[in-house]
Chain A
Amino acid sequence: MLIEAHQLRRTFSSFERRQGLSGAVRDLFRTGGQERVAVEGLDLRVRPGEVVGFIGPNGAGKSTTIKMMTGVLAPSSGTLRVGGLEPHRQRQEHVRRIGVVYGQRTQLWWDLAVIEAFDLLAGIFEVPAAVYRQRLELFDRELGIGPLLRQPVRELSLGQRMRCDLAAALIHAPPLLFLDEPTIGLDVEVKRRIRELVARLNREEGTTVLLTTHDLAEVEALCPRVVLIDHGRILLDGSVGELRERLGGWRRLVVELEGEVDPGALSAALEGLPVTPTLTAGQVELRFRRSELSAPLLIQALSARLPVRDLSVEEEDIEEAVARFYGEQRA
């Protein structure tokens, strides 16, 4: 196992600031605060060479988990081993073997030229000169960063900066890569290039990747394994296929009728079928599970009793499904 987390937990004591001047003064003398649990008893095992997608809503505990795995944050309790090391205690040794990209902020020095930052990082991570040159050529081919190297980091656009940030995180060829929302706010082309490089490193160098994202297309493109997390707990751990399965395999049949919908005729048509109808102006929307009901059967039942003008069947997309899943879990 490359990553082994057992009952991993992290809490923060949070202060809710009181209002006004007197509140600020009273805040000064407050000691402990309220405990807020960010990650609650997380169990996770990741094998070398896996690409794991961490998904979940904002505040689900994804970033906190990543920060513990990278050694930036200490766990409050539980055990965590990455490559046999305790990330937080053996941090310097640990970070030599990982690469980390935060989509939200750069890890490069703001005022250095890109190539200067790369040179410095290569020095810090003790990359041999020949290897370094090869890496730069690879990054130029895959990410097109050659023309950016002489520019100061602060002058780069978001897309340019993210490509450079990814390259910077990979200079020392780390066997484990953490990507925290790496493609947030990027255009389609830059997203594609980043995903292709990550997929290639996984395929050719066996790089293990842990990715957090809101973008489910990204998960589908990159991650054979998905971990769904909320309130710091794992809700689901499996393949994208299993995720779809567990999330329901819901379908939607939208039927357009001639004239007004007759509720009596509709309920008669749907008698005994596992389906929930929603009525809108001249339209009926029917949700049903693929496993419980076949679309032709439903269409047959409907057209026997109602004047159907047009119809369409849609798969519920994964994004909606996840949102609904969270809704159910929280309810």
Chain B
Amino acid sequence: MRPSSRSVHGPSFGRRPAGQPGDTFGSGYPGPARSRLGLWLRYAAMRAKVRLAYRGDFALHALGDLLVAGIAIVFLVSLFSHIPHIRGWSFPEILFLWGMGEVSTGLFFVLFQGLWALNQQYLLRGEMDRVLLRPLDPYGQIMVDHLNLEDLPIVLLGLAMIGWALPGLPAFSLAQWLLLPLFLLCGVLVLAGTLTLFSCLGFLIHHRGTAIGVVYQASAFNRYPLDIFPRPLQRLLTFVLPFAFIAFFPASWYLGRTEWLLGAAVQPLVGVGLFVGARWLWGRALRRYRSPGS
């Protein structure tokens, strides 16, 4: 009975003589990756494939996010159609700043969506156990598991805004062009570092994960010129929740505003330093993980 009932479900696996070439299980496994990076890319590709497989879901999510971003642009356009400047900032300038922020935020959401799942899924429901049983960096696994390609259109939108702003701005130097990707990536790190830092709270206090939600809301300030805010808020956005480093400080250099030059100069340091520090602390906090259901 057994062999015949098995052949109904698919090819018979047991009968093939050992050593014969051919892919018995139709598995595309190419053997171990040559490097750590290769392995991470393979992992990420697998996740991306799954996300793309839910096409309807993907399209809907992407559309929703674009809509939200689009409303902001409509608001900007209509605002500047009535007034030419806000505190000396012209429409193309705001557009450029906004575009930079959009690119960094979009990339952040593509890569670091896992931070939102940390509390509920990994700490409270205990999926951290699975992550810890694999010989890979736990933080990386969580982020890759929640790789969120749906937000790539936001990045494109941000780039389009930068492109749209360019004709109305003074020409950039070669150095400025070359440094632009660096500033954008370090903007991602500022955001990721800050939120990673706050995500550590989940290891200490059991909560549903609203802390980083609140902090993230505050990051919306990164797309506005800092000097339109009152002093205390400016300090807050520079030293406490350093969201002014995401886009504002670097953008001000591109826009020829020298009073924030120092901010632009140290932005990469702030981004890398904050992220590395937050990751270190996260690793320390992980030691306090208490798997549920002991």
Contacts and interface: CB of A to CB of B under 8 A. Distances in A.
Interface stretch (A93-101, A199-207, A323-331): A93-101
Interface in A102-133: 102, 104-105, 107, 109, 111-112, 115-116, 118-129, 132-133
A126 B25 contact: no
Q: How large is the interface on A (under 10, 10 to 19, 20 to 34, 35 or more residues)?
A: 35 or more
A57 interface: no
A64 B132 CA distance: 15
Nearest to A131: B31
A136 B25 contact: yes
B257 interface: no
Interface string B23-62: 0111111111100000100110010001000000000000
Interface core residue of B13, B129, B132, B294 (most chain A CB under 10 Å): B294
A70 B287 contact: no
Given A12-B294, A72-B132, A120-B42, A140 B29 contact: no
B293 interface: yes
30 contacts: A12-B290, A63-B293, A63-B294, A64-B294, A67-B294, A71-B133, A72-B291, A73-B289, A73-B291, A88-B287, A95-B134, A100-B133, A102-B129, A104-B293, A118-B27, A118-B29, A119-B28, A119-B29, A122-B32, A123-B33, A123-B39, A124-B136, A126-B32, A133-B25, A137-B14, A141-B13, A146-B6, A146-B9, A146-B10, A146-B11
B88 interface: no
Interface string B261-294: 0000000000000000000000000010111011
A124 B39 CA distance: 7
A71 to B, nearest CB: 7
Contacts of A109: 50, 145
Contacts of B294: 12, 38, 61, 63-64, 67, 73
Interface core residue of A12, A102, A109, A120 (most chain B CB under 10 Å): A120
A46 interface: no
A123 B32 contact: yes
Interface string A235-249: 000000000000000
Contacts of B134: 95, 121, 124
B24 A137 contact: yes
A164 to B, nearest CB: 13
Contacts of A119: 27-29, 46
Interface core residue of A64, A88, A123, A136 (most chain B CB under 10 Å): A123
Contacts of A18: none
A118 B50 CA distance: 15
Contact of B30 (A12, A96, A125, A129): A129
Contacts of A96: 135
A48 interface: no
Contacts of B26: 115, 149-150
B46 A67 contact: no
B130 interface: yes
Interface string B107-126: 00000000000000000001
A72 B126 CA distance: 11
A83 interface: no
A67 B9 contact: no
A92 B29 contact: no
Nearest to A127: B32
A287 B134 CA distance: 51
Contacts of B129: 67, 72, 102, 105, 107
Given A72-B289, A129-B31, 9 more contacts: A12-B294, A63-B294, A73-B290, A112-B50, A116-B46, A118-B27, A119-B27, A119-B29, A125-B135
Interface core residue of A61, A63, A72, A122 (most chain B CB under 10 Å): A72
Contacts of A61: 294
Nearest to A74: B287
A168 to B, nearest CB: 10
B29 A107 contact: no
Across the A-B interface, give the 7 residue pairs with the lowest CB-CB distance, nearest first: A147-B9, A129-B31, A126-B32, A64-B294, A92-B135, A119-B29, A146-B13
B27 A136 contact: yes
Nearest to A61: B294
A159 B10 CA distance: 19
A120 B43 contact: yes
A132 B32 CA distance: 10
Contact of A128 (B9, B32, B293): B32
A151 to B, nearest CB: 10
B126 A93 contact: no
B90 to A, nearest CB: 47
A91 B132 contact: yes
Interface in A8-41: 12, 38
B148 to A, nearest CB: 14
Nearest to A100: B133
Contacts of A70: 132-133
A106 B11 CA distance: 27
